[in-house]
Every structure is written in structure tokens, then in C-alpha cells.
């Protein structure tokens, strides 16, 4: 779902291409509107909220930015400018690529058989992949920005660019690989 309005008044969302068709339905590219938790009542309504707002909300859940949405929006907006400066690409497309790359395709659940816990590998639903990806990216940003002289928007830009390029040094990609490695061992 897309709209004619530009994100942060600058970035086009019409021409963004999705590499992963399964997550396309759960990544909405609309301008950020403060939804104030309207999606909390129903399970699948969160996928109707802009992926950028969901990323901002995830960033607000950690550390110093808890509850400071305008401040976090400014950080993400500055990070988008930084991404465009460094790569020349549309930062919305970089975010979408990072979300697609950082979501695990397989994870482990624990089953109990007669008092014995057995790990079992299961495929991850597309909506959960998007949710996990946003969590991994936000956690990576929080860990990378803790007690560092670099500004927050530089850290967000670095993490998104690295995840979009599928750089194995990226914390979100490493976390995804770890989840998939544990699942492969549980097959």
C-alpha cells in the first residue's frame, strides 16, 4: 500500500521495490502519522502502519528515547539524509531492504514430550519476520549508540546501510544468522 505523499516531505515511496514478496504485504510505505497505539487492539492492524513509524516506535522502546517520539523522528529523519548522502539511494528503499534482510526465516520453538523439552525448527511467518527484524535493528542501534561519541543518526544510518547490504559484521544480521543457526541445529 502506497500513497502520493512523500515521507518526511522528501522521500518518494512509489518506486520502492521489494525483494521479498512474502513481506511486501506487511511493510506499509505511507507517511508517518502518530497512530497513538490504534493498532494495539487487533493483531494484524499493525501492518497497516508505516514501516518508518514502526521503526521509530521500536527505537523509542530502548534507553534515553523512551516516549520521545518527536526526538526519535528527528533522529530517523537525519539518518535518512545521511543514508542518501552516503549511498545516493532512496533511504526508504534502504530501510525496506534492511528489514527484509534482518528478518529470520526459521527459528526454534520448544515442544514438551512427556516432561522432556525438545527444540524444533519452524518457519517464521512474514509478519513475525518484519517484527523480529525491527527488533533486531532497534537493539543493534541501541547497543551501538551506548556510550559512544558518534551521533544517534549516524549510528542508525550505519546500521541500516549495513543491514541493507547484508554485511555479516552488522549486529542485526549477526542476530538473524544466530537464530537461523540454532534452528538449523534443531532440525
User: Can you give the pLDDT at residue 35?
Assistant: 65
What pLDDT digit, counting tens, does each position of 83-93 carry?
999 998 889 89
What cell was used for 20? Answer: 521479498
What pLDDT digit, counting tens, does each position of 34-52 carry?
666 666 566 677 777 888 8
Once rounded to an integer, what is the mean pLDDT over residues 166-174?
A: 92
User: Can you give the pLDDT at residue 173?
Assistant: 94
| Spatial distance between the Cα atoms of 106 and 33, rounded to a whole number of angstroms | 32
Residue 123 lies in a domain: yes
Question: The domain containing residue 87 runs over which residues?
Answer: 21-185
Residue 50 lies in a domain: yes
Give this prediction's pTM: 0.87
| Spatial distance between the Cα atoms of 67 and 165, rounded to a whole number of angstroms | 30
Of 12 and 163, more confident: 163
Residue 128 lies in a domain: yes
Reported as type and span, the H/E element at residue 107 is strand 106-113
Q: What is the CATH number of the domain that holds 112?
A: 1.10.455.10
Amino acid at each position: 500500500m502506497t500513497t502520493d505523499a512523500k515521507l518526511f516531505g522528501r522521500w518518494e515511496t512509489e518506486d520502492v521495490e521489494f525483494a521479498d514478496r512474502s513481506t511486501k504485504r506487511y511493510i506499509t510505505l505511507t507517511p508517518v502519522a502518530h497512530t497513538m497505539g490504534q493498532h494495539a487492539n487487533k493483531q494484524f492492524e499493525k501492518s497497516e502502519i508505516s514501516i518508518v513509524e514502526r521503526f521509530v516506535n521500536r527505537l523509542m522502546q530502548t534507553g534515553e528515547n523512551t516516549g520521545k517520539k518527536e526526538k526519535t523522528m528527528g533522529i530517523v529523519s537525519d539518518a535518512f539524509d545521511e543514508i542518501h548522502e552516503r549511498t545516493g539511494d532512496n533511504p526508504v528503499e534502504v530501510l525496506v531492504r534492511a528489514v527484509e534482510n534482518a528478518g529470520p526465516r526459521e527459528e526454534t520453538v520448544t515442544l514438551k514430550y512427556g516432561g522432556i523439552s525438545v527444540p524444533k525448527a519452524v518457519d517464521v511467518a512474514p509478519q513475525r519476520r518484519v517484527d523480529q527484524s525491527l527488533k533486531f535493528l532497534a537493539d543493534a542501534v541501541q547497543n551501538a549508540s551506548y556510550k559512544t561519541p558518534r551521533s544517534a543518526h549516524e549510528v542508525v544510518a550505519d546500521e541500516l546501510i549495513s543491514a541493507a547490504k547484508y554485511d555479516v559484521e552488522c549486529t542485526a544480521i549477526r542476530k538473524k544468522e544466530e537464530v537461523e543457526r540454532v534452528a538449523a541445529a534443531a532440525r
